[in-house]
Amino acid sequence: MLIIGIAGGTGCGKTTVVNQIINELPNEEVGVISQDSYYQSAPHLSYEERTKINFDHPRAIDFDLLMEHLKELKKGNSVEQPVYSFVKHNRTEDTILTHPRKVMIVEGILIFTHPDIRELFDIKIFVHADSDERLIRRLKRDIAERGRDIDEVLNRYQNTLKPMHQQFIEPTKEYADIIIPNNKYNTVAVNIVRTIINERLL
């Protein structure tokens, strides 16, 4: 199994890049795991309390479960990937049965901060977009898709997202084998990664 890690700050375009990469690849050969599915479950907290969680700190992620699932997939076993609700800020009751594939792509803002998880990646890719681009994209996306308003996004950006990005996410760029500039859609980079995957699938 080839495991590719794709990291980068919120709004840099990780999910979009992954979708572009896997589009046109046979879906029985390539699977995706999203770090977002592994936000800690917090059913004991009220909605109000959950809105105050710092979701951009590594402790917000259930890395133990993510590690366990990646190891199981590597062994050839299927896992139940949790489903997370950004609207409720909580893990849902649902899971997605995820089967091992020849190529597994793992994407998320903090996946390169965890040394043992970093070790599992055969290829590490960091997607870069400037912080103003990322903020604009995040504003539009979170208002359109994640039930937020402009104040929520800007407050979170100033209070946690920006400092956490600088402390935890940006420094992990140094672990990357490939850095994809993504201020604009980068079809050349997407095609290069797809070529690498296709070679593995031959």
Ligand X SMILES: O=c1ccn([C@@H]2O[C@H](COP(=O)(O)O)[C@@H](O)[C@H]2O)c(=O)[nH]1
Ligand Y SMILES: Nc1ncnc2c1ncn2[C@@H]1O[C@H](COP(=O)(O)OP(=O)(O)O)[C@@H](O)[C@H]1O
List interacting residues with ligand X (CB under 6 A): 10-11, 14, 36, 39, 55-56, 86, 89, 109, 156, 161
Binding partner of 161, given ligand Y, ligand X, none, CB within 5-8 angstroms per partner class? ligand X
The piece of 43-51, 70-78, 93-101, 178-186 that touches ligand Y (CB under 6 A) is 178-186
Q: How many CB atoms lie within 10 A of CB 64?
A: 11
Taking CB under 6 A as the rule, does residue 137 contact ligand Y? yes
Nearer to ligand Y, 14 or 165 (CB): 14
Angstrom distance (rounded) from CA 142 to CA 188: 28
Angle in degrees, 0-180, between the axes of helices 14-22 and 187-201, rounded to the nearest 10: 50
Considering only residues 141, 146, 162, 173, which one is a binding residue for ligand Y as defined by CB under 6 A?
Answer: 141
Considering only residues 1, 16, 168, 200, which one is a binding residue for ligand Y as defined by CB under 6 A?
Answer: 16
Closest CA to 179 of 104, 102, 117, 112: 112
Report helix, strand and coil shares of the chain as percent, to nearest 5. Answer: 50, 20, 30
Report residue 177 as tokens. 């084998």
Q: DSSP E strands: which ranges in 1-137?
A: 2-7, 30-34, 79-85, 90-98, 103-107, 123-128
Considering only residues 182, 189, 190, 194, which one is a binding residue for ligand Y as defined by CB under 6 A?
Answer: 182
Number of residue whose CB is nearest ligand Y: 13
DSSP SS3 for 12: coil
Binding partner of 182, given ligand X, ligand Y, none, CB within 5-8 angstroms per partner class? ligand Y
- Least gap, CB of 37 to ligand Y (angstroms): 13
Taking CB under 6 A as the rule, does residue 50 contact ligand Y? no
- Least gap, CB of 16 to ligand Y (angstroms): 3
Taking CB under 6 A as the rule, does residue 44 contact ligand Y? no
Angstrom distance (rounded) from CA 53 to CA 103: 33
